[in-house]
Amino acid sequence: MSDFVYPPVIALAKTLFRVLDLRITIDGAEHIPRQGGAVLASNHISYLDFIFAGLGANPAKRKVRFMAKQEIFADRIAGPLMRGMHHIPVDRDNGLASYKAALAALKGGEVVGVFPEATISQSFTVKEIKSGAARMAASTDTPLIPMALWGTQRLWTKGRKRELTKRHVPISILIGEPFQPTRRDKQDVVAAELHSRMSALLDRAQQEYPDKPAGPDDEWWVPAHLGGSAPTPESLAGSEDEID
């Protein structure tokens, strides 16, 4: 697959990261295969997650093809970039076409990026996840790789003002060991296993995170169970159904 757009986009992103002095840590990059298909499943806490999740595969010299909502591809600026990077549009009215496109990419040896929660988690915990990532991995006999991001919500998340020029923010990217679902596995069991692995990675990222809130007004980006003022999962039940 030709990539004329992806490399300069990566180079530009890295330049911006250096200018902003973002303190990016990648742990577990050895779990990304150097070749062959794989499904990369990450938590979702920011509108910028696809950038940092993709960065996590960079040490393995892999480019991730993300599944993203169709509306982004319709944007006059983002659309050409998304298509140029061979990301996969997700049309909520024609999900089967998106699924087939992802399967074709996996069979072609690509790494496909998925946010199995489907929406941004405003509680900054791992929400209930969809079964699509597991089904894709099982159908193509490719590994399923859990990932956790932390710190990205401080730059731009749902319900908060964008702070894209915020400097010195630590960003943690943790990649877990891959596992291999099969067609014989029950989807709910595999989804539970993926949820467990993503949650464990996220817990570690939160516990090891080098920054603390600057004061009460800055506690919004910390989950309630760690003493922050982010809403609890229970308080958000039923209100996060819209795809972000």
* Whole-number average pLDDT of the chain: 95
For 59-87, write each residue's pLDDT tens digit.
Answer: 999 999 999 999 999 999 999 999 999 99
Q: How far apart are CA 75 and CA 70, in angstroms?
A: 9
Residue 85 lies in a domain: yes
Q: Which region, left, alpha or beta, applies to residue 118 given φ > 0 means left and ψ of -120 to 50 means alpha?
A: left
Q: Report the pLDDT value the prediction gives residue 243, as an integer from 0 to 100.
A: 47
3 state DSSP class of 67: strand
Domain enclosing residue 162, as ranges: 38-236
Residue 166 scores a pLDDT above 60: yes
Spatial CB neighbours of 75, under 8 Å, sequence gap ≥ 6: none
Residue-wise pLDDT tens digits, 106-117: 999 999 999 999
Identify whether 222 is part of a domain.
yes
| Cβ atoms within 10 Å of 183's Cβ, excluding its own | 8
Give tens-digit pLDDT for 9-63: 999 999 999 999 999 999 999 999 999 999 999 999 999 999 999 999 999 999 9
Determine contact, residues 108/1, Cβ cutoff 8 Å.
yes
> What are the residues facing 88 on neighbouring strands?
67
Which of 106, 15, 7 minimizes the C-alpha distance to 63? 7
Q: Does the pLDDT value for residue 240 go beyond 90?
A: no
CATH number for the domain spanning 109: value is 3.40.1130.10
What pLDDT does 239 receive?
A: 74
Domain-embedded: residue 180:
yes
Look at the block and give the residue holding tokens 């004329």: 4
Angle at 12 between CA 105 and CA 78, to 5 degrees: 55
- Residue 9 to residue 186: CA distance in whole angstroms: 39
Does any domain span residue 241? no
In a domain, 100, yes or no: yes
Look at residue 4 and tell me if it is in a domain. no
Using CA atoms in the order 106, 112, 115, 118, what is the torsion angle rounded to 10 degrees?
Answer: -50
What's the mean pLDDT in 93-120? Answer: 95
Phi, psi of 115 (to 5 degrees): -110, 90
> Does position 241 have pLDDT exceeding 60, yes or no?
no
Whether residue 13 lies inside any domain: the answer is no
Mean pLDDT of 217-232: 98
Q: What is the mean pLDDT of residues 79-100?
A: 92
Strand 23-27 versus strand 170-175 pairing type:
parallel
For 209, how many CA atoms within 13 A lie in the half-sphere containing its CB? 24
Q: Specify whether the CB–CB gap between 133 and 144 falls below 8 A.
A: yes
9 domain residue, yes or no: no
pLDDT of residue 143: 98
Q: Angle at which helices 49-56 and 6-20 pack, to 10 degrees?
A: 100
Q: Is 96 exposed, middle or buried (0-12, 13-18, 19+ CB in 10 A)?
A: exposed
pTM value is 0.96
Tell me how many domains the chain contains.
Answer: 1
Query: What is the pLDDT confidence band of residue 5, given thresholds at 50, 70 and 90?
Result: very high
Give Cα separations from 235 to 26, 224, 239 (angstroms).
32, 11, 9
